[in-house]
Structure 1
């Protein structure tokens, strides 16, 4: 591993304090803020937000999948589903597919950003 070196920057005291407050708010180090900003990388706090977003999306779709399975169980148990219910179910599935496609596009952009981050 390469030895780390120090770089000394001269900035106004108020600016340093402002940067430190920003780092405290974002829960990142001043070094991380400077290095990631200079190298045009995603900041650690933004990375955490992205991961939280992905986890939340996964939870939403898990709930939807559970609901789909419940409807299928009811339909199989009753051996009947009305045409209105079937149409409504089909429309909801179409919405889920559209949302999943949008989510996948967002994920592609996120992965692209993260890939360019290294």
Structure 2
């Protein structure tokens, strides 16, 4: 059985303007990825490592926010059922969380659109 070697075996030399190379390196620094990763993933239409990290961070944040919202919805319902009214500050906090949900859903949709567009190529 032949063992598959995943070591880098070859290299590509390209000629570009120094300013363009510097710009690519700057982008890599911002995204915290290597220049090789930027080029290979771009050519192969794959998600960049930084995009994967953003997606995972977003999903984690979204889960935490939804847990808080579920807890607050239950608290608001309990208060409303017991007291037959809701204080203004509680209703304000509840409204703020709902606004945050809308924002997260919009962000989620943009990320999913990006994923789908990358997968369809």
5 Å-filtered alignment, 1:105-116, equals 106=109, 109=113, 112=116, 116=119
| Structure 2 alignment gaps of length 5 or more | 87-94
> How large is the RMSD of aligned CA atoms in angstroms?
3.4
Offset from partner CA, 1:14-39 (integer Å, 9 cap, x none): 21111111111111100000001101
Structure 2 match to 1:11: 16
Match of 1:64 among 59, 64, 69: 69
Deviation at 1:72, TM superposition (A): 4.4
Match of 2:54 among 49, 53, 60: 49
- Cα separation, 2, equivalents of 1:25 and 1:59: 26
What TM-score do you get using the length of structure 1 for normalisation? 0.62
Matched, 1:38 2:27: no
Deviation at 1:11, TM superposition (A): 1.5
How many residues in Structure 1 have an aligned counterpart in Structure 2? Answer: 103
| Structure 1 alignment gaps of length 5 or more | 86-91
Q: Secondary structure at the match of 1:6?
A: coil
